[in-house]
Amino acid sequence: MKARWDIFCSVVDNYGDIGVTWRLARQLVVEHGCDVRLWVDDLRAFERMCPDIDVQVGQQWQEGVQVRHWPAEWPGAHPADVVIAAFACQLPPEYMDRMAERERAPLWMNLDYLSAEDWVVGCHRLPSVKYKGVQKYFFFPGFRPGTGGLLREAGLLERRQAFQQDDVAQQQFLQSLGVAPTVGARLMSLFAYENDGLAGWLDVLAADGRGTHLLVPEGRILGDVQRWLGVNSLSAGDIQVRGALTVQVIAFVRQEQYDQLLWCCEFNAVRGEDSFVRAQWAGRPLLWHIYRQDEDIHLDKLDAFLELYTAALSPAAKAAVVTLWQAWNADGDMAQSWKMLLEHWPEVSQHAQNWCLEQGLQADLATALVQFYESWI
């Protein structure tokens, strides 16, 4: 009898948390034959990346996953064999009581935030608190051996490589989004939180000797783009040209389409956790806008990743990447830091491919979770 899994997702970052749990749920079903319920407290946010979701329905099936609305008043449900609280969300008290009443307690895990910090390896899979005798465990995604790894579907890197080598497939995909790339321009994507440093970056792109075609999925950064352009509104399909910079707004797309968008672009600015990981699998240079946390502890996470990510770069290229990322996340000088990065573009571009292949050698997150459950029972 296959194991039943419950994954709980409380939507905080609009798309990052639901993006991770939705990918995980589908992979557990497709590749590991698990019976998965995904509990989501905000179906509206979920609908953006899965348009087939009916936000009025409390229980539905999507791509083999039983999607359940997680309302403020718990509807009642039998606990599964494996219970995942994504990103330290608090499970319903009634559900936790039922967990304790099971003849065999479930495996209860807190699937934590992704981090490259050194301490993660030492805490991965450690027992946490108990609730009425039910033990909870820490489970940390990560970039190093000894962590839970990253979400990566079987064959993903092979599909990506084939797509990037197929000019016709890329052209057809971009056409489906209404995108006709500017001839000779660098194709880039921008998905970020609000950022005061954006104007300086767009200024230098507009003044560049080479054109840039910037694709902006609808999202929180759109207001900053609109102000820089000096227009009253922006929506999907709009195209604005300023100097060497073409800005095109595209609709929010499904995860599989977003992957292909990242694969098409020469450079990707991403945010949060889900798009951050997917940009790394694209094998292209990237810029991460990390989710801000109190007391700037997010900057420690940023620096930890940069230390790991840039370890194989030359000192000058490393300095260029670090300077750009720190400027983007701390309202620094994006114009000068972007120029620095361009000076090292061939090395940075090759490094992105190498990093992707290196990370692809590790076990993926879904497999690591299943292996932990199998060893636990």
222-264 tens-digit pLDDT: 999 999 999 999 999 999 999 999 999 999 999 999 999 999 9
Residue 13 has pLDDT above 70, yes or no: no
Q: What is the pLDDT of residue 2?
A: 86
**Domains plus CATH for the chain?**
4-151+363-376 (3.40.50), 156-359 (3.40.50.2000)
Please return the burial class of 153, using the count of CB atoms within 10 Å of its CB with bins 0-12, 13-18 and 19+. Answer: middle
Phi, psi of 225 (to 5 degrees): -65, -45
Q: What is the pLDDT of residue 16?
A: 74
Is residue 116 within 8 Å of residue 276, measured between CB atoms? Answer: no
Burial readout 209-226 (b: 16 or more C-beta within 10 A, e: otherwise): eebbbbbbbbbebbebbb
Q: Give me the mean pLDDT over the 268-289 stretch.
A: 97
Query: What amino acid positions are annotated as catalytic residues?
Result: 17, 273
Please count the other Cβ atoms lying within 10 Å of the Cβ belonging to residue 245. 24
Percent of the chain with pLDDT over 70: 99
Q: How confident is the model at residue 14 (pLDDT cuts 50, 70, 90)?
A: low
Note the pTM of the prediction, 2 decimals. 0.96
H helix or E strand, kind and range, residue 271: strand 267-271
Residue 341 has pLDDT above 80, yes or no: yes
Q: What is the pLDDT of residue 152?
A: 99
- Give 60-90 pLDDT, tens digit per residue: 999 999 999 999 999 999 999 999 999 989 9
Q: How confident is the model at residue 33 (pLDDT cuts 50, 70, 90)?
A: very high
- The whole-chain average pLDDT of the chain stands at 96
Q: What is the pLDDT of residue 293?
A: 84
Percent of the chain with pLDDT over 90: 93
Is residue 142 within 8 Å of residue 114, measured between CB atoms? Answer: yes
